Structure 1
Amino acid sequence: MIDVNKYEGQITAIGPYVVEFLEANILVLFGLSAPEELAEFAVLHDGTTLHAPLATGDTLYVGSSSFQILAVGEVANANLANLGHLVVKFNGENEPEQPGDVCAEALPLPEIAVGMRIRIEG
């Protein structure tokens, strides 16, 4: 089976509070239209199109690191498609805590940097 590129974007800015979320193994993504108060704790990116819905078993790439997606909350796809917003919790859980959460493998996150690519394949 050929992997489908479901979503892709490049990091354009990193909010000042992102480090606190990363320390808790949470990556908050937002598109470029994020309000300033949300941009403060988000990684902003230029991705604009969700080509196919995210699903359990997809792979999230953050730079050169990859993580298997273990669960997708019921509104995560709508948030990503409409706002470029995604909350990824690298907690190894098979059930999302919140409807907008995506759970991924509990592996160490790479250092997040402007210019890094984020991609989701399924």
Structure 2
Amino acid sequence: MKKYYSTVVQELGVQVHAFKEARMLILFNENAPKELREYCVLHCGNKLEDTVRAGDVFCLGKEEYRIVFVGSEVQKNLRDLGHITLRFNGNEEGESLEGSLYLESKGVADVKVGDEIAIYRP
């Protein structure tokens, strides 16, 4: 597999785990606006070298998820801001929120500081 995106978790906002019940996480680079920080998984080293596509593999720590749908603004937002919403619902309802990356429907990993976030092309 070819890794084309990599970053490292630096901080977890105090409200991050509240979103796990809704099967979603919000990523933002370390420059996230103050009013959003408490809701985000904050990361640094945001390096994107290819286009995110359905069928690729998203890794959160040791957990892997197949990407099932890529919102139209994911590429730009991830590259420029490190900011996307991860939805762990398999896109079962056919949503297409622009800034969301839809992952296969399985449990949300327990993310922690120091974890790598990566995207691979199989």
With structure 2 as the length reference, what TM-score do the two structures score? 0.92
SS state at 2:109 partner:
coil
CA distance in structure 2 between the aligned counterparts of 1:10 and 1:61, rounded to whole angstroms: 11
Segments of 5+ residues of structure 1 without an aligned counterpart are none
The aligned amino acid for 2:59 is: Y
Deviates more, 1:56-65 or 1:94-103: 94-103
Q: Which has the higher strand share?
A: 2
CA distance in structure 2 between the aligned counterparts of 1:8 and 1:105, rounded to whole angstroms: 20
CA RMSD, 1 decimal: 1.2
SS state at 1:79 partner:
helix
Extract structure 1 runs of 4+ deviating beyond 6 A: none
Q: Which residue does 2:16 correspond to in 1?
A: 18
Q: Which residue does 1:116 correspond to in 2?
A: 115
With structure 1 as the length reference, what TM-score do the two structures score? 0.92
**Alignment partner of 1:27 is 2:8:** no
SS state at 1:80 partner:
helix
Q: Which residue does 1:85 correspond to in 2?
A: 83
Q: Which residue does 2:49 correspond to in 1?
A: 51
The aligned amino acid for 1:108 is: G
Segments of 5+ residues of structure 2 without an aligned counterpart are none
CA distance in structure 2 between the aligned counterparts of 1:76 and 1:38, rounded to whole angstroms: 18
Pairing partner for 1:67 from 65, 68, 75: 65
SS state at 2:108 partner:
coil
- Percent identity over the alignment is 32
The Cα shift of 1:4 comes to 2.2
The Cα shift of 1:96 comes to 3.9
CA distance in structure 2 between the aligned counterparts of 1:48 and 1:68, rounded to whole angstroms: 20
Q: Which residue does 2:106 correspond to in 1?
A: 107
The aligned amino acid for 1:33 is: N
CA distance in structure 2 between the aligned counterparts of 1:10 and 1:62, rounded to whole angstroms: 10
SS state at 1:22 partner:
helix
CA distance in structure 1 between the aligned counterparts of 2:21 and 2:45, rounded to whole angstroms: 24
The Cα shift of 1:27 comes to 1.2
